[in-house]
Amino acid sequence: MSVLALEYPPINHLFDWPAFLFEGTPLAVNKTVLIYLAATAATMLLFGLAGRPRQTLVPSGVQHVAESGLNFIEDSVVMQTIGPEGRKFMPFLTSLFFFVLFSNITEVIPGIQFPATSRMAVPMLLALLVWVIFNVVGIRSQGFFGYLKNSLFPPGVPKALYVLVTPIELVSTFVVRPFSLAIRLWANMVAGHLLLVTFAVLSAALWGATYIGAALTFPMLIAMTGFEILVSVLQAFIFTILTAVYIGGSMHPEH
C-alpha cells in the first residue's frame, strides 16, 4: 500500500498471520498461536524453576522474579481490591497477569515484533472468562437475587434515581464490562504495534532516501519501543486489577 509515496504494508498484513500447521482446520497454528504457547511455556518455566525445592534464603534470578510477581499481585492487586479473602484467586490472577504480559511483551522482542493480544481472540476469551467468574462469585456470595439486587440497585442511591441508575448498571455490569476489558487491551496493543511499524517503516524509508531524514524518526522509534514496554506491563496490570475489582465488587456489594 502506497501512502504519501511511502510503501506501507496493508493493515491486515500486520496482524493476520498465515497458518503453517493444520492449515484450514480449527486447530491451525500461526505466529499468534505460537506466541500464546510461548507465553504459557515461559510462565510455567518461570514458576517451575522458582518453585524448585532448592531455595536460597536471599532470592535471586527467576526465583526473585517469580516471588516479586507474586508479591506484586498480592499486595498491589488482591489486597487493594478484594482483601485477604481474595487470596484464593491468586493462582488465577497470577496466571492472567503473566499470560497477558508475555503475550504483550513480544511486541518489542526482536524477531517476534508482534503482540499476540493485538488479535481479538484471546482478549475476548479472557474477558468472557472474567465475566463468568465475577458473576459466579457474586451469585455464590450473595445469592442470585441478592447479587442482582445489589448490582442493579446499588445501596445508598436515592430511590428516585434508580430509574436512571438501574439501566446504566445493567448495561455497564453485565454487557459492557467484558467488551471494555477486551477492547482496552486489544486496542492498546493494536495501536502500539501500528506505532512501532509506522516509525520503523518511516525510518527505513527515510534512511534510504536521506540519512538526515531518519534523524527524527529513528529516535522516536527507539522512544516508542521503550514506551511500548511500559504499555505492555501496564495493560497486563490493568487487565488483572480490573478483574480483581470486578471479583471484589461481586464479593462485597457494599464497596
Q: Does 133 bind other proteins (CB under 8 A)?
A: no
- In the complex, what is the shortest distance from the CB of residue 173 to other proteins, in angstroms, rounded to a whole number? 22
Is 43 a binder of other proteins (CB under 8 A)? yes
Cell numbers that stand for 167 in this block: 439501566
- Contact stretch for other proteins (CB under 8 A) within 123-131, 143-151, 168-176, 247-255: 123-131
End-to-end, the C-alpha distance of the chain in Å comes to 51
Region near other proteins per CB under 8 A, out of 137-145, 148-156, 166-174, 217-225: 217-225
Least distance (Å) from other proteins to the CB of residue 251? 19
User: Whole-number minimum distance, CB 153 to other proteins, in Å?
Assistant: 33
Sequence-distant (6+) residues with CB within 8 A of 112 are: 31, 35, 106
Query: In angstroms, what CA-CA distances link 200 with 26, 72, 123?
Result: 33, 34, 26
SS (H, E, C) 90-146: HHHHHHHHHHHHHHHHHHHCCCCCCCHHHCCHHHHHHHHHHHHHHHHHHHHHHCHHH
Select from 39, 101, 130, 231 the one that contacts other proteins (CB under 8 A): 39
Instruction: Report the residue from 82, 126, 244, 251 that binds other proteins according to the rule CB under 8 A.
Output: 126
Q: Among 18-26, 76-84, 152-160, 162-170, which window interacts with other proteins (CB under 8 A)?
A: 18-26
Question: Using CB atoms within 10 A of its CB, is residue 163 exposed (0-12), middle (13-18) or buried (19+)?
Answer: exposed
Regarding 177 and contact with other proteins (CB under 8 A), the answer is no
Site for other proteins in 146-175 (CB under 8 A): none
84 binds other proteins (CB under 8 A): no
Judged by CB under 8 A, the stretch of 45-53, 152-160, 235-243, 245-253 that binds other proteins is 45-53
Q: Candidates 137, 196, 231, 251: give the one binding other proteins (CB under 8 A).
A: 196
Q: Smallest distance, Å, CB 120 to other proteins?
A: 4
Q: Which of 78, 99, 142, 147: binder of other proteins (CB under 8 A)?
A: 99
- Burial class of 127 by CB neighbour count within 10 A (0 to 12, 13 to 18, 19+): buried
134 forms part of the interface with other proteins (CB under 8 A): no
Size of the site for other proteins (CB under 8 A): 74
Note whether 14 binds other proteins by CB under 8 A: yes
Query: CA 148 to CA 139: how far, in whole Å?
Result: 8
Q: Map the footprint of other proteins across residues 52-81, applying CB under 8 A.
A: 52, 55, 57, 59, 63, 66-67, 70-71
Choose which of 84, 111, 155, 156 interacts with other proteins (CB under 8 A): 111
